[in-house]
Amino acid sequence: MVAKQTKALATLVSLVLACGGLSACGGGGGGGSDAHDKELVFLDGYPERKDDSPWGKAVQGCAPEGYTIKRQLQDETMNPLTIAVKENNAPDIAMIDNPSMPTAVDSGMVVDMKEAGVDTSGFDKNIAAPGIIDGKTYGVSYGVNTLGLYYKPDILQKAGVDPAGIKDWDSLNAAIQKVVQAGFKGISFSGIATEEGVFQYLPWFWGAGGDLENPDSQAAQDARDLLSGWVKNGWAPKSSTTNNQSAAWDVFMSGEYGFAENGSWQAESASKKGYGVLSIPAKNGGPAKVPAGGEFLVLPFHKKGDETKQKAAAQFLNCLTGRDLLKASESTGYLASKKAVREQQLKDQAYLQSWDQPAATAQGRTTRLGLKYENVSSDLSKKLQAALNK
């Protein structure tokens, strides 16, 4: 697949307009003899995390001897990376959302990690899986996030709801109804017409017995009916159709909502406020399967590669996903991608303990479907939007 270096890149070159020119997107390049030779450019998707933040310090702390790390900060990294690789102006290291891995590999945008000298051993199989294409590892993870069901104990107590009794969809709906009847609001979630909305839909889809290889099943309809029913009943806000996960969390935090479907990255703030969290229930009981979220670190393709810089970039990744994996995962609120490291993290960050099992069993969205997931996700999103907006 790597031989197809220009397949999808040619069709995406028009995206250069989104960055206002190539100089805004690239910066790594392939060698030379100027001062940039000892600078590794890292396309980093965390612009809100400055160099003096825990993440920023973890990144800078993994600079190989003699090198400095230059962070290129972008909210969305796939388009800038696509353009930069096309123009042979790619960064030395990049971060991309894990569902983008099949596209990045098929387009020839990233290189084989093992061949580049990156240690790909020791990662939890379920977390590593989206980065493995045709048996080769093209992306490595420093941490994973996933979804759960947050609740406010004081509201549930006033409504006479015992969270321990929420075991399936019927008991969840009964609990939400009691909360609303007690004068509070029900549940917030993200149903936005993007991958974020699909991400939040998948636990309900899987919880109803759904399979991504059969996306038009009854399970898909059952999950849509559940979420759209919440909106129709007034249990969830109408803004759920446009709220991303951050906005959905703001609704939960600012209003009198009893429940919220949201991510493990909110665990620290939720813990400080005394909120509880449950596993998302499957339709007929037990915990639903949840998707593995998070970003992967990749080494972009360069037409004229600089072996010395690529070796240094591999050393950087070996540090951030090896020696300093605990520091990297703790700095992001993600759960470490290696079980042994995660065990120490859970001692340091006790508020994450209830997330250990979901992380250990979270499913990659593209693991089985590869490139096909993009179309499946788009179809799921369109049908979910139609149901929510009825």
Q: Residues 110, 215: one domain?
A: no
Looking at the predicted structure, is the pLDDT value of residue 36 above 90?
no
Q: Residues 379, 253: one domain?
A: yes
CA 296, chain centre distance (Å):
9
Closest CA to 76 of 51, 37, 44: 44
Residue 233 contacts by C-beta under 8 Å, 6 or more apart in sequence? 180, 186
Looking at the predicted structure, is the pLDDT value of residue 277 above 70?
yes
Query: Can you give the pLDDT at residue 306?
Result: 87
Structural domain range at position 97: 7-144+293-348
Q: Residues 108, 186: one domain?
A: no
Query: Can you give the pLDDT at residue 2?
Result: 36
Give the mean model confidence (pLDDT) for residues 94-109.
97
Residue 160: exposure state from Cβ atoms within 10 A (0-12, 13-18, ≥19) = exposed
Q: Is residue 9 within a helix (H) or strand (E), and if so which, with residue range? A: helix 7-12
Give the mean model confidence (pLDDT) for residues 364-373.
97
Looking at the predicted structure, is the pLDDT value of residue 160 above 80?
yes
Query: Can you give the pLDDT at residue 6?
Result: 36
Looking at the predicted structure, is the pLDDT value of residue 299 above 80?
yes
Q: How confident is the model at residue 316 (pLDDT cuts 50, 70, 90)?
A: very high
Q: Residues 68, 205: one domain?
A: no
Does residue 237 belong to any structural domain of this protein?
yes
DSSP track, 85-117: HHTT---SEEEEEGGGHHHHHHTT-B--HHHHT
Query: Can you give the pLDDT at residue 35?
Result: 54
Does residue 45 belong to any structural domain of this protein?
yes
CATH number of the domain at 337, please: 3.40.190.10
Give the mean model confidence (pLDDT) for residues 118-136.
97
Does residue 79 belong to any structural domain of this protein?
yes
Give helix 54-61 / helix 325-332 axis angle, nearest 10°: 160
Mean pLDDT of the chain: 92
Looking at the predicted structure, is the pLDDT value of residue 26 above 70?
no
CB 240 within 8 A of CB 388: yes
Q: How confident is the model at residue 193 (pLDDT cuts 50, 70, 90)?
A: very high
pLDDT digits (tens, 9 = 90+) for 196-246: 999 999 999 999 999 999 999 999 999 999 999 999 999 999 999 999 999
Q: How confident is the model at residue 30 (pLDDT cuts 50, 70, 90)?
A: very low
pLDDT digits (tens, 9 = 90+) for 77-90: 999 999 999 999 99
Q: Residues 380, 335: one domain?
A: no
Does residue 265 belong to any structural domain of this protein?
yes
Closest CA to 39 of 59, 66, 62: 66
Q: Residues 263, 323: one domain?
A: no
Query: Can you give the pLDDT at residue 255?
Result: 83
Q: Residues 198, 107: one domain?
A: no
State the Cα angle at 22 between 84 and 196, rounded to 5°: 60
Give the mean model confidence (pLDDT) for residues 290-295.
98
Does residue 262 belong to any structural domain of this protein?
yes
CA pair distance 313, 117, nearest whole angstrom: 9
CB 329 within 8 A of CB 264: no
Q: Residues 375, 233: one domain?
A: yes
Looking at the predicted structure, is the pLDDT value of residue 65 above 80?
yes
Does residue 187 belong to any structural domain of this protein?
yes
- CB count within 10 Å of CB 333 equals 21
pLDDT higher for 12 or 341? 341
| 334 φ, ψ (degrees, to nearest 5) | -85, 160
Q: How confident is the model at residue 71 (pLDDT cuts 50, 70, 90)?
A: very high
Number of H helices, E strands in the chain: 18, 12
Looking at the predicted structure, is the pLDDT value of residue 28 above 90?
no
Q: Which two tokens stand for residue 315?
A: 């050393």
pLDDT cut 70: percent of the chain above it:
91
Query: Can you give the pLDDT at residue 383?
Result: 98
Number of domains in the chain: 2
Instruction: Indicate the DSSP class of residue 164.
Output: G
CA 39, chain centre distance (Å):
28
Q: Residues 157, 77: one domain?
A: no
CA pair distance 105, 18, nearest whole angstrom: 22
Looking at the predicted structure, is the pLDDT value of residue 252 above 70?
yes
CA pair distance 109, 101, nearest whole angstrom: 10
Rg (CA), the chain: 21
Looking at the predicted structure, is the pLDDT value of residue 101 above 90?
yes
CB 39 within 8 A of CB 68: yes
pLDDT cut 90: percent of the chain above it:
88
Q: Residues 302, 188: one domain?
A: no
Give the mean model confidence (pLDDT) for residues 144-164.
98
Q: How confident is the model at residue 37 (pLDDT cuts 50, 70, 90)?
A: confident
Q: Residues 106, 54: one domain?
A: yes
